[in-house]
Amino acid sequence: MDLLSSASHFSTFRYAHSHSSFPPLSTHSFTVRSSLPFPSQKAKYYKELEAAVGVVERACRLCLDVKSSLFSSGGRIIEKNDQTPVTVADFGVQALVSLELGNLFPSIPLVAEEDSAFIRSNNLADLVVNAVTGNSSLTDTSCTEADVLHAIDRGGKDAFTFGSKPATYWLLDPIDGTRGFLKGSEALYVVGLALVVDGEIVLGVMGCPNWQNDLSNKSGTIMVAHVGCGTWTNHLPVVLDGTANVPSSWTKCFVDQCCVVHEARFCIQDSQSWDSLPLSPLFSATTNADSIGDNEFLLLPTCCGSLCKYLMVASGRASVFILRRKVQTIIKTWDHAVGIICVHEAGGKVSDWKGNQIDLAADEVGRRFIYPSGGVLVTNANLHNQILELISSGSTV
């Protein structure tokens, strides 16, 4: 099935909103790649993935522009009602992705984190419009405030009602790890986008602007996955301060090959401690890689955002990511969908704590929540059954 309903053409469109309190948009050049690391004949959703890569790259550019404005001019940093820090970038990314995907694929609904109520009540619309229009590829129409607000709400909780049947939709996390976005260049954050077709995740794109690459001094990475075509990474194609950051060739990703639990590298959610997990009665954890005891696991330093943990496992930097489902916390689909396909296509495995596949359709109405038994377990596949057994043992200790 070819989901593309119009030509996939990308160019550059810049628009300066006269009432923004941010400085004028930067003149950084930004080039979107037009090719993927595998031929179109092998990828059923090639055009959809190509479009997703382009819009995620522009979304990362938006994040860098907004972040530069925030930290160079003392711009506004705000909090939502749930006390989660959020910036203009969250809403700007959602509007940008919604506008572009809505233009290319008008029949495919978007499930995303934000709605426009907050920016309406806090008079932030001008800032969001400025951020969006400075990074949009749409050249045929001007982007108005009404367009941007409508685009945000297209992904909101009241925009679309699903049913019990398998559905097709985009899943977007505008910025996963917003706290990391606010901390500076050291903490990681991710723009995550996935496409679900008839209930199956068929492609995913993660953009992490400040990811430090292993073999170069360049920061920023984009990870893509397509069902049956593997997981791949490349540098983000941005130009900063007049110095070209030329994208290298695509690199195929594989999970690590660790087969011994004691030698595995673990990462956990920032909001959780090792003591809160069922493995803690059996093993302690250390962050000192040079001194690991007989009954200790190596726990990698935390990095903001659950999607960063998926990126670490899919790229082979971590062996295991384990997340406990808290009783009063609802787990969002967009925090996991894109990571699931990236890990699977890299050779890993994702399940709940009983070994069941994550059910993205558990929330039949909105496809916004998942309810994994116990929590989520992400591994390199070699360790999956061993960790499940340890979880079962630990939960009964």
In sequence order, what are the residues at sequence separation of 6 or more whose Cβ sits closer than 8 angstroms to the Cβ of residue 309? Answer: 267, 268, 269, 303, 318, 321, 323, 339, 378
Residue 186 structure tokens:
């050291």
**Is the model's pLDDT at 252 over the cut of 60?**
yes
Q: What is the pLDDT of residue 327?
A: 83
Write the pLDDT tens digit of every residue in 175-233: 988 777 776 666 689 999 999 999 999 999 999 988 877 655 667 899 999 999 999 99
Residue carrying the six token digits 């009964």: 396
Q: What is the pLDDT of residue 76?
A: 58
CB 113 within 8 A of CB 80: no
Task: Cite the residue boundaries of each domain of the chain with CATH code 3.40.190.80.
Answer: 261-395
Print the SS3 string covering 25-43.
CCCCCECCCCCCCCCHHHC
Question: In CATH, what number does 42-252 get?
Answer: 3.30.540.10
Sign of the CA dihedral with 151 first, then 157, 162, and 167 last? positive
Write the pLDDT tens digit of every residue in 40-64: 999 999 999 999 999 999 999 998 8
CB 312 within 8 A of CB 231: no
Task: Cite the residue boundaries of each domain of the chain with CATH code 3.30.540.10.
Answer: 42-252
Write the pLDDT tens digit of every residue in 314-355: 999 999 999 999 887 889 999 999 999 999 999 999 999 999
Residue 344 structure tokens:
């699977």
Orientation of helix 145-154 relative to helix 125-133, angle to 10°? 90
The residue ranges of DSSP E strands in the chain, in sequence order, are 78-79, 85-86, 110-112, 169-176, 190-197, 200-212, 219-226, 230-235, 239-240, 243-244, 251-253, 265-268, 284-286, 296-299, 320-324, 331-332, 349-352, 369-370, 375-379
Q: What is the pLDDT of residue 210?
A: 84
The residue among 75, 63, 60 whose CA lies nearest residue 22 is 75
* Three-state SS at 287: coil
Write the pLDDT tens digit of every residue in 83-123: 455 678 899 999 999 999 999 999 999 999 999 998 898 88
Which active-site residues does the annotation give? 90, 178
Query: Can you give the length of the chain in residues?
Result: 397
d(CA 370, CA 42) in angstroms, rounded, equals 31
- For the chain, give the mean pLDDT: 83
The residue among 191, 221, 205 whose CA lies nearest residue 63 is 191
Model's pTM, two decimal places?
Answer: 0.86
Q: What percent of the chain has pLDDT over 90?
A: 55
**Which residues carry a binding-site annotation for Mg(2+)?**
113, 173, 175-176, 335
Question: In CATH, what number does 261-395 get?
Answer: 3.40.190.80
